[in-house]
Chain A
Amino acid sequence: MILPLIAAFSAGVLVILSRQVNGRMSMSSTPMISSFWNHVVGFVVLTLIGLLVGGLIPANISEMPWWIFTGGAIGVVFVASGSWLITRIGAVNSTLLVIAGQMVFGVIFDLLRGAPVTIWASALGIVLILAGMALTQRRR
């Protein structure tokens, strides 16, 4: 049980590590160039892993809905904006505001597509998040 705990925690650490490194890249280039390197390097690494493990491209790929191919396009914008943001508002603010947006839009998105949502917990969670956002915004 300790291994999955470490894996989940490390995944969060690596998300920030990646944003920090991409942010450094964008300081000496641009956020879009930094996003390009992030994707091309990730693609090479995942291709190598895929070749090692095998079965990278599933047989049913032609039957998948077209929109699953749009995730990468959204990712390019997200990574570029992350590099742009971290050099301006810092790591903590980036992390908190991105998580805040992810949660609030996640709840809205779930409501819109009719997924089950526990209203009291989601509403209270959103109130706390908005209060925290107001706090990042207050003059020091």
Chain B
Amino acid sequence: MVWLVHLNGTWRSDPTAGMNPNPQTHTLPRTILTRIAPMTPSQTQRPNPLHLLAAFASGGLLTLAIFVNGEAGRLGGALFSSWLAHGVGTVVAVAVLALIWRRERAATKIAEAQHGKAPLWAYLGGIFGAVTVMLTSTAVNSPLALAGTLALGLAGQVVLSLAADYWGLLGLARRRLDLRDAGAVILIAGGSLLIILFGFGSA
């Protein structure tokens, strides 16, 4: 449980402070907290523009990954493509972790002191990714085709992320949603649907 939020340079108590099972973490140096504390977005905090920019850039990475994995799928099938990506990903992650292991282990100790050990289910995010591949390859090869699959997938993403923020699902912070979020959802989802349904291919 995060008990501090960094707001405009000042530290304020989080309403959930009393629920912190590890009061000794209060004495952690501020620099460490700043680095590892997941800046729980409070109701009034504006998202850091750099974080939003990073998210936007990671969407570009996703485009690239989907193109590469799509080619692998075209040559060897959807299951092979995803299996290959997860296999290569595992090797790369191990290599990166081996290089920075000292730092990662220290960061994990601090994170566990603050949030407790990860629940068992938190290890299983990869299952959903694996199942996703099977679902999308089913949908793509139906009358929905690629555009329909992408459009409906987008709807699914928006619906679950709204629910996740509203209820603070699966141990992550709850975020209050307001009209601005609704506007952003409508504009970004609308623009994306326009590109998915009419932008691909020549009219």
Q: Which residues of A contact B (CB under 8 A)?
A: 1, 3-5, 7-30, 32-47, 49-50, 53, 55-58, 60-61, 64-65, 67-79, 81-82, 84-107, 109-110, 116-118, 120-122, 124-129, 131-133, 135-140
* Chain A neighbourhood of B178, CB < 8 A: 140
**B83–A47 contact, CB under 8 A?**
yes
* Chain A neighbourhood of B32, CB < 8 A: none
Of B149, B155, B191, B193, which is in contact with the most chain A CB atoms at under 10 Å from its CB?
B191
User: Does B203 have its Cβ within 8 Å of any Cβ on chain A?
Assistant: yes
* Chain A neighbourhood of B94, CB < 8 A: 36
How many chain B residues touch A (CB < 8 A): the figure is: 129
Query: What's the minimum C-beta distance from B76 to chain A, rounded to whole angstroms?
Result: 4
**B125–A18 contact, CB under 8 A?**
yes
**A14–B112 contact, CB under 8 A?**
no
Q: Is chain B's binding surface mostly helix, strand, loop or mixed? A: helix
**Also in contact, A9 and B153, with CB within 8 A (given A43-B126, A82-B58):** yes
Q: How far is the CA of A49 from the CA of B139 in the complex (A)?
A: 18
List, sorted by A's number, 15 A–B pairs whose CB atoms are closer than 8 Å.
A12-B155, A14-B156, A24-B171, A30-B104, A32-B104, A38-B89, A42-B127, A68-B84, A72-B90, A89-B52, A101-B58, A101-B63, A120-B203, A125-B192, A133-B52
User: Does B201 have its Cβ within 8 Å of any Cβ on chain A?
Assistant: yes
**Also in contact, A91 and B172, with CB within 8 A (given A33-B108, A76-B93, A121-B199):** yes
